[in-house]
């Protein structure tokens, strides 16, 4: 199993801290039952942290007019909204909630050129809160597909647990569909803001896989 580079520091720090905890437990705790509980909980915590940063290798089947899921998780919102940041137009918002058990790599839903990137400091409302899209800490990324003349607006949103957004996109970069655009640590949400008229292929509460599940299709392509 491959580990994502964002996890190296966290995993090493966790190993050191858990070793210190277990040494202290062995040295100062006399009750055997307590020792075994600490050892077992420590092992489970380490397994969870390692699995959180797992890096599945994907063979993305690229189709320019298909919109792939940017993340693993569950669809929690499908609605029409007005986007007042950069676009100033109506879009279809599809929001995906990532639990701590999901892979937290964020992928490009389409191939194209990065036209806009902006980081916004903000609050840490729970990721499913309606105002988390506009009030939480977040990163906005606009990807333009010139072949079919459409764009997708992506928001990485920090939640109550996830408080570190990492993004790799820079304005002017040309990216492939399914390539990494970022990572969010420990639970969060990703919004897709799609052109009106996009044929949506998912439903509320449906589980999706980043770089695999088709979220929608740009019709007339």
Q: Which residues are annotated as catalytic?
A: 188
* HSE-CB of 105 using CA atoms within 13 angstroms: 24
Can you tell me the distance from the alpha carbon of 187 to that of 151, in angstroms, rounded to the nearest whole number? 26
Which residues are within 8 A (CB) of 216 and not within 5 positions of it... i.e. 6 or more apart?
66, 67, 92, 94, 194, 198, 199, 200, 201, 202
DSSP string of 93-161? EEEEEE-TTS--EEE-SS-EEEEEEEEE--B---TTSTTHHHHBSEEEEEEEETTTTEEEEEEEEE-SS
How far apart are the two ends of the chain, measured CA to CA in Å?
Answer: 38
């Amino acid at each position: 199993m491959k580990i994502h580079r964002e996890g190296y520091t966290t995993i090493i720090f966790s190993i050191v801290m858990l070793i210190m905890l277990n040494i202290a437990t062995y040295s100062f705790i006399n009750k055997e039952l307590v020792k075994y509980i600490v050892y077992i909980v420590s092992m489970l915590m380490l397994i969870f942290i390692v699995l959180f940063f797992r890096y599945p290798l994907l063979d993305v089947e690229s189709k320019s007019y298909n919109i792939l899921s940017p993340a693993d998780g569950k669809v929690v919102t499908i609605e029409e909204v007005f986007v007042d940041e950069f676009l100033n137009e109506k879009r279809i918002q599809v929001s995906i909630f990532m639990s701590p058990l999901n892979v937290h790599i964020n992928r490009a839903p389409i191939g194209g050129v990065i036209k806009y990137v902006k980081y916004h400091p903000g609050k840490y409302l729970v990721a499913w809160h309606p105002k988390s899209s506009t009030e939480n800490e977040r990163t906005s990324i606009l990807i333009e597909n010139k072949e079919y003349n459409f764009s997708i607006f992506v928001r990485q949103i920090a939640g109550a647990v996830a408080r570190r957004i990492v993004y790799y996109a820079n304005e002017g970069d040309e990216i492939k569909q399914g390539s990494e655009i970022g990572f969010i640590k420990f639970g969060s949400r990703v919004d897709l803001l799609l052109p009106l008229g996009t044929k949506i292929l998912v439903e509320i509460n449906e589980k999706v896989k980043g770089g695999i599940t088709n979220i929608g299709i740009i019709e007339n392509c």
